[in-house]
Chain A
């Protein structure tokens, strides 16, 4: 574990799937989620000792859109400009399983009972995998907020956790208020950062270079990892088809060879399961890791952007002050502005530095954990494959 500078007692180590519920004063998890038509309803479970909450333990149902609302309000909050805001969870994507379910429904008449049951099983497994992913990512979002000393105190966060009625009314109001103003600005953050103002601070200069470079590389790695995982799944699918075809051939066969064909069909079926596990574990540990940190890097870049804007504002206020002094008008006002913007900038710089440093640590820990877990799983699955294959070879040879 790397040494975390400053406030180390307050700062908790955060990583993608490390338990963020280290602080017993506010524990959040998502034990349950329901999928209806288009919407996913998450059940948020809270256990707390903080007095500002009405109850020590409670649950609320929330939709994905509620999470987005919460994220947006936090982003728009001026006070948090110097913090890395945890990236919003992506929309749950059940497209894959839904398509499959459709196919299943259509093809039901043309399939045998076994085929139907098998496909149904696969469908359920796929659904479950998507489910797990989306629950995890929503959970982590809340946990990042709950374990951050400043975010956990956010009023909207409390409302999100506690408000026992539908949040959609509030969501509408929020949209009207902010109108996504800040969001649109952030889109051009990269350009500002790159072209932008002269950086005085060595630390931030380095960070800027690093984050820009890293961001594009990790985006690329994520995309390539996704492709690789998909190929794995295709191979697993093929094993499935081969198993089915072998079973058909065995059914037609009436010689002693029938047993061999059946055994082979069996082994391919098992190989498929293993290959599937390899693919989904790789996805969860590697691809998801990369995906998450792509988003987190973006959040860090946003922070830099906000600081750069503050710097620009400060410089503008300086210019305005000079102008005012020249003109001899509104000097006090200009001085006031200048002081304010300097304050703001300094505050951003200070908290920014903290945040970025802990971000580094967090990233390293997360990578370590996930790479170790992925490797261990790969080894486990490969060993299982080996014993399966060895057993089957022995059986086939002895017959």
Chain B
């Protein structure tokens, strides 16, 4: 009950402040990733009477900044300092471990708050819909990223990195490059990051088989047992990662920074076929119109002409495979139920107007043998009951962030007081900063609707807001994690990290997280 008492006294405090300005506007933001946090920040800034509650199903805030950004990209996580200042604002409260759809329904939230903004992102995956997709050893990149980032839901993923020397990654966007880089980077470089301990251990065990011959002691080299041992190690000597794209280098979805980085990974040979770099007039046109694509193409072109150096000990291979789309997955005869390869169809490009080209199958096929497949073909949002949803595009239908209930009829019906921001609104594209502009648009729509009486006026509103949420959660025995609970987790993780020369050691299970937070 102590947590409740603290919340109640803060509510009282913000009431006495807001009576000096305008009436409280009760806002609930669902999701505490970049979209949710930028929305909360702009709402607080734009409206002095706004009281913003942020709910998240995890006890830890910040969404993909914590669970998506790669462990070797710590500068990208600095933005959490800004987000923490938002959560610590007097008129803002964070409620972790509160799940939309189970702890509380969307209708209940809309009855409690004047404005509800859904910013819960995309926690599922686009499926390929091809035979063999549910063989073991095939994961979505999202799951693999959650696994190495210590997300409590993927703690037990246990990808097998020991019984194969080849991984195929389908997709060539930045997420695909992230997972390739984590698989290929020397583990001593990963050891000083906040990568999850179980992931580092799995990667280290996988790379034990790559110790160069020179590291064995002299007496071991002369022993027969060690000769056999060496032979076993030699059979897994080269770890190969394939990045497979349906189209060509002019259409590769990654961006220059990430590509430059992976091309410079230590002890990795880059393989790109020069014939794949051939540009059609349509490709030239596409590159002319896009600065991003042009710089990516130039990097790939330079890497292809530099060519791989002669094989030497400790080298791994990264292959960029273009013009191939997955047709089916093969099952292993040795390990039934497990993947043993990808059957790929060669493609050609066809223009479909407005400068866009799509991949079309040519009827010719080839195979890549592998023991692990990572599908990096896009995230997908998950609907909740009573939320309008566009299943084809995986987003909530909206106009400038206002949720539309029915796009088939005329005029469009707007769901009063219900808004979206981030991937749930735009689809799973863009970077952290893209959400800054997305939140500006959604908050502009909210302010416009407020001014024009399209949201129930706060002065006549009887919505209970934060008090109502606390009461409902109390009735259901749901103990929310306050922001101070996250601060305890943060402190503990950083303390554990300092003992190991890492920025933090993530608490990887629900039990550990809640034990520290509460």
Is A bound to B?
no
Where the two chains meet, the residues of B that have a C-beta atom closer than 8 Å to any C-beta of A are none
